[in-house]
Structure 1
């Protein structure tokens, strides 16, 4: 099954400011969220969940057909 990913404007801005290594890791962390719907919060609510990569994190809300990435971070 394919899922959609919506990215908040501030996330797009944060990704643009990261070095290539950071952007790559954050994108891999977002991909890890997509393949693990069991870690998603209840779809359609206001709950946000966090998933951590080696040096990154992604905050996201869930919908029946995908996620909304609301914040990201990377420690470089």
Structure 2
């Protein structure tokens, strides 16, 4: 865990495949915004699920995460931009 963020293996793999450092910075900026106010983002859990799963969206990326007391667990990352501006 680093600064209240736990990153799952799938999300780490996606981070490694992003096109460059600027893309990784954009994703990490979104992670930080979600960490600061995790419940501001929509809850997307399946009906009947006990896990609180939320999604946060940036300009070219999104993350799926679970809020925990003072931290978030990043489960998945998506990137829609081919190359950052």
Structure 1 runs of 4+ aligned residues shifted over 4 Å read none
- Show the counterpart of 1:32: 33
Aligned length: 71
Give the Cα separation in 1 of the matches to 2:17 and 2:72: 22
Give the Cα separation in 2 of the matches to 1:52 and 1:62: 15
Query: Shift of residue 22 of structure 1?
Result: 1.9
Contact in 1 for aligned 2:4/2:71 (Cα 8 Å): yes
Give the Cα separation in 1 of the matches to 2:38 and 2:12: 22
Query: Shift of residue 37 of structure 1?
Result: 3.6
Pair 1:10 & 2:15 matched: no
Query: SS in structure 2 opposite 1:11?
Result: helix
Q: TM-score, normalised by structure 2?
A: 0.73
Which has the larger share of strand?
Answer: 1
Aligned-residue Cα RMSD (Å) equals 1.7
Q: TM-score, normalised by structure 1?
A: 0.81
Select the structure of larger CA radius of gyration. 2
Contact in 1 for aligned 2:5/2:72 (Cα 8 Å): yes
Give the Cα separation in 1 of the matches to 2:35 and 2:5: 8
- Show the counterpart of 2:56: 51
- Show the counterpart of 1:60: 65
